[in-house]
Chain A
Amino acid sequence: MNSKKLLTVDRLTWRIEDKEILSDVSFHINKGDFVGLIGPNGAGKSSLMRCLYRVNKPTEGSVSFDGQNIWQYTAKQNAKNIAVILQDHTDQLGLTVSDVISQGLTPHKHLFEWDTLDDRKQIQNLIVELDLYQLRHSPFSLLSGGEKQRVMLARAMLQNPQLLIMDEPTNHLDVHYQVELLQKVKKLDMTVLASFHDLNLAAAFCDSILLIDNGRLLTFGTPDEVITEKNLNEIFNTEVVVDKHPLYSHPRITYAYHE
Chain B
Amino acid sequence: MKYTAITNALIIPVALVLLVLSPLLSVCFGAADVSFNDVFAIVYRALGGDAEVDAIKERIVLELRFPRIILAFLAGAGLSLSGAVLQTVTRNPLADPYLFGISSGASFGAVLVIASVGTASSMVSITGGAFLGGALSVLLVVSLAGMGVQIERMLLAGVAVQFMFSSATSLVLYLSDPQAAASLLFWILGSFTRASWDNLLLPFVVITFCLLVFLAFSRPLRAILAGDESAKALGVEVYRLRIGMLLLSSLLTATLVASCGGIGFVGLMVPHIVRRILINHSQYTLIGSAVFGGIFMIWVDVLARMLMENSELPVGVITAAMGSMFFLLVLKRRTASA
Q: Which of A64-115 contact B (CB under 8 A)?
A: 74-80, 82-84, 86, 88-90, 92-96, 98-100, 102-107, 109, 111-113, 115
Q: Does residue B144 face the partner (Cβ distance < 8 Å to A)?
A: no
Check A111–B279 contact: CB distance below 8 A: no
Check B237–A75 contact: CB distance below 8 A: yes
Contact with B234, one of A50, A113, A159 (Cβ below 8 angstroms): A159
Encoded as 1 (CB less than 8 Å from any A CB) or 0, chain B from 273 to 287 comes to: 001100110110000
Contact of A94 with B229 at beta-carbon distance under 8 Å, contacts A76-B235, A103-B223, A111-B217 already known: no
Q: Which of B248-293 contact A (CB under 8 A)?
A: 275-276, 279-280, 282-283
Q: Which residues of B contact A107 (CB under 8 A)?
A: 234-235
Chain B's interface size range is: 20 to 34
Q: Which of A144-176 contact B (CB under 8 A)?
A: 159
Contact with B232, one of A55, A104, A137 (Cβ below 8 angstroms): A55
Q: Which of B200-235 contact A (CB under 8 A)?
A: 215-217, 219-220, 222-223, 225-227, 229-230, 232-235
Q: Does residue A139 face the partner (Cβ distance < 8 Å to B)?
A: yes
Encoded as 1 (CB less than 8 Å from any B CB) or 0, chain A from 126 to 138 comes to: 0000000000010
Which has the most chain B C-beta neighbours within 10 Å: A76, A78, A96, A99? Answer: A99
Q: List 15 A-B contacts (CB under 8 A).
A: A53-B229, A54-B232, A54-B233, A75-B232, A86-B230, A90-B227, A92-B225, A95-B282, A96-B279, A105-B219, A106-B222, A111-B216, A112-B215, A113-B219, A139-B279
A-B Cβ contacts below 8 A, count:
90
Q: Which residues of B contact A95 (CB under 8 A)?
A: 222, 225, 282
Check B93–A93 contact: CB distance below 8 A: yes
Q: Does residue B26 face the partner (Cβ distance < 8 Å to A)?
A: no
Q: How far is the CA of A89 from the CA of B91 in the complex (A)?
A: 12
Q: Which residues of A contact B282 (CB under 8 A)?
A: 94-96, 99
Can you list the 4 inter-chain pairs with the closest CB atoms, starting with the nearest?
A: A79-B235, A107-B235, A84-B233, A76-B235
Check A90–B226 contact: CB distance below 8 A: yes
Q: Which residues of B contact A99 (CB under 8 A)?
A: 222, 282-283
Least CB distance from B285 to A in Å reads 8
Q: How far is the CA of A114 from the CA of B130 in the complex (A)?
A: 36
Chain A's interface size range is: 35 or more
Q: How far is the CA of A159 from the CA of B235 in the complex (A)?
A: 11
Q: How far is the CA of A109 from the CA of B223 in the complex (A)?
A: 12
Check B235–A106 contact: CB distance below 8 A: yes
Q: Which residues of B contact A (CB under 8 A)?
A: 3, 87-88, 91, 93, 215-217, 219-220, 222-223, 225-227, 229-230, 232-237, 275-276, 279-280, 282-283
Check B234–A86 contact: CB distance below 8 A: no
Least CB distance from B235 to A in Å reads 3
Q: Which residues of B contact A106 (CB under 8 A)?
A: 219-220, 222-223, 234-236
Q: Which residues of A contact B236 (CB under 8 A)?
A: 75, 106
Q: How far is the CA of A112 from the CA of B223 in the complex (A)?
A: 14
Check B222–A103 contact: CB distance below 8 A: yes
Q: How far is the CA of A80 from the CA of B234 in the complex (A)?
A: 8
Which partner residue on chain B sits nearest A52 by CB separation?
B233
Which partner residue on chain A sits nearest B272 by CB separation?
A94
Which partner residue on chain A sits nearest B4 by CB separation?
A137
Which has the most chain A C-beta neighbours within 10 Å: B216, B232, B233? Answer: B233
